[in-house]
Structure 1
Amino acid sequence: MKNLFDLTGKVALVTGASSGLGVQFAKALARQGADVAIAARRVDRLEQVKAEIEELGVRCLAVPCDVLKTDQIVEMVQTVKEHFGHIDILVNNAGVGKGIPAEMQTDEEWLSTTRINLDGVYYVAREVGKVMIEQKYGKIINLGSIHSMVAMAGSPISAYCASKGGVLMLTKALASEWAKHNITVNAIGPAYFPSEMTQDVLAMEGFDAVVQMYCPMGRPGRDGELDGAIVYFASDASSYTTGQYLAVDGGWTAI
């Protein structure tokens, strides 16, 4: 029987891959045989991640890119295509998270979150989508959140929720639009996982009690527990799955 999760010969592009979940996603795809292009603003960290991925026996290309600068996105996509010849998988992971009370949030703070988390996802998907349409194949995986679906009592995350809710509907819209080109577009909705972005939240006094209250499994996610979801959406195992949102949240959004 064919291994539906084998990614040998595929090329994946992962944004926000200088730390945290982006690194985990890139390594998960590499372990399944995919060559990987990693993109982020912090070039020094990209080079370190590149070396770690190459130790897994695949090719890796590090490309600096700010997902709010469309000229850099166009250049990144062109560089990856020229280097590998094609782009089969996009993991749209770049994002930010900051809690600011809605009544105190400035226009600039609102836009900083919504632009990176939603506009940036669209800009990268648009440019990679052009390549995938031309080659008549593609797998796009957008990073949503449990906050694509639910908020949290008393938590000052209005901009984050709005942006991640937008990612969910953008995923559905692009999936509907590009299905005719043999491109699937899906989203993953993680709960709280250890990363550079969440370390302050996870360390907050009382957060363990919040997890106990909201998460049936009673704990944050662990390293590696998103790998199965990312590989599924990147592989032929999900060939008839598009426009979907998969919560990886210990049951958080089930109650």
Structure 2
Amino acid sequence: MQKIFSLEGKNAVVVGGAGGIGQAIAQGLAEAGAKVAIASRSVDSLQRAVLEIKEACGLEVKYYTVDAAVESSVEALVVESVKDFGKVDILVNAQGFNKKFNAEDFPMDSFKQMFDVNVIGVMMCCKHFGKHMIQNGYGKMVNLSSVRGRIATKGPGNAGYCGTKGALDMMTRQLASEFGKYNITVNAIGPTITETPMMTDILNSRGPNARKDLAESLPMKRMALPTDCVGPAIFLCSDASGFVTGNIIYPDGGLTAIG
């Protein structure tokens, strides 16, 4: 039974894999048997992530630089990874960012930038890796979304983020519809606020009760960790999810159940 979760013989590219949830997923895929490459804009971040993964589990991962908001850079990533791996079976899109402004004051250049990275950048990766997967007759795509693609925040500031994640969720479903006939599944993972290195600094700035308050708001009564997304990612990248496509899995401690 465990073999249906094995990624032995599979090659994976994790865009946005140089930190946080993307790095945790990259390490998890490698531990499940896949050959893994991570991609991001920063060479320093990529080299740090490669070292941390090696120290954590003893496994090597490759890395490539890419600007996921530039189509020619994404095309080059596909060419380079296919050249090195022979084929790419798995694409994880973990890139994205958030800028918070009250809706009435939201700068449109920031709003557009969020859509360029969080939506258009993901679409470009799915488009170009999708062409390769269509030729192979097989593929697994996993997009990193958020609970904010499904439910809004009570406080202000997230019109851009919620908008991009809602768009990403619907794009995931439509890609699943179009790619299904080629034996390509497209799904998403929608976590809640997760204690990534970037979020740690934000939580620390909110005072000593920030983590406790977030934990108490969830049925599971604890903060989310990057590793909480690893199991869902392995499931969605393995044969265990062979008939699962167009879905969003929420490792959110129960937030969407009560939100």
TM-score bracket for this pair, using the shorter chain length: over 0.9
What is the TM-score of this pair, normalised by structure 2? 0.93
- Aligned equivalents of 1:196, 1:155: Cα separation in 2: 23
Aligned residue in 2 for 1:121: 122
Name the structure 2 match of 1:155: 156
In structure 2, the residue matched to 1:39 is 39
Q: Secondary structure, in 3 states, of the residue corresponding to 1:226?
A: helix
Q: SS in structure 2 opposite 1:142?
A: strand
1:253 to 233, 239, 256: 256
Unpaired segments ≥5 residues, structure 2? none
More divergent stretch after superposition (55-64 vs 85-94): 55-64
Q: Which amino acid aligns with 2:75?
A: V
**Residue type of the alignment partner of 1:224:** T
The TM-score, its normalising length taken from structure 1, stands at 0.94
Residues of 1 paired with 2:216 and 2:58: CA distance? 42
The structure in which a higher percent of residues are helix is 2
Q: 2: CA distance between counterparts of 1:139 and 1:155?
A: 35
Q: What is the alpha-carbon distance in structure 2 between the residues aligned to residue 49 and residue 192 of structure 1?
A: 21
* 1:195 CA drift (Å): 1.4
The number of equivalent residue pairs is 255
Counterpart check, 1:227 vs 2:191: no
> 1:74 is paired with a residue of what secondary structure?
helix
Deviation per CA, 1:31-90: give whole Å up to 9, x if none: 011001110011122123224445646552210001101111000110000000000001
SS in structure 2 at match of 1:3: helix
In the other structure, the counterpart of 2:9 is 9
Aligned to 1:84: 85
Task: Give the SS at the match of 2:23.
Answer: helix
**Structure 2 SS opposite 1:248:** coil
Measured in 2, the distance between the counterparts of 1:27 and 1:212 equals 26
Matches within 5 A, 1:62-101: 62-101=63-102
| In 1: Cα distance, 2:111 partner to 2:30 partner | 35
Change (3 A) 1:200 1:97: farther
1:241 aligns with 2:234: no
Q: Deviations over 1:10-32 (max 9, x none)?
A: 00000111111111010000001
- State whether residues 50 and 63 of structure 2, in contact with CA within 8 Å, keep that contact through their aligned partners in structure 1: yes
